[in-house]
């Protein structure tokens, strides 16, 4: 979990920018979007194989 320690003289905007950067680095938003909808195992397998075929091309 990303954390930002507030330093002396640091504005809220700077702290927020640091926090957003850490969240982006940890790819938390992408993980949430991936888990947003439930996928059956058969669909996961199908998507995985399709992505592998695209990557191979």
Q: Which of 16-50 are b and which e, b meaning 16 or more Cβ less than 10 Å from the residue's Cβ? A: eebeeeeeeeeeeeeeeeeeeeeeeeeeeeeeeee
pLDDT in tens, 4-53: 888 899 999 999 999 999 999 998 988 888 889 898 999 999 999 999 99
Predicted TM-score (pTM) of the model is 0.57
| In 1-57, alpha helices (H) | 12-25, 28-34, 41-56
What pLDDT does 1 receive? 80
Token digits of residue 10: 């640091």
CB-based contact 22:4 (threshold 8 Å): yes
């Amino acid at each position: 979990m990303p954390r930002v320690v507030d330093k002396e003289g640091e504005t809220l905007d700077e702290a927020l920018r640091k926090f957003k950067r850490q969240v982006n680095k940890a790819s938390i938003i992408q993980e949430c979007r991936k888990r947003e909808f439930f996928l059956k195992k058969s669909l996961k397998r199908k998507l995985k194989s399709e992505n592998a075929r695209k990557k191979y091309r």
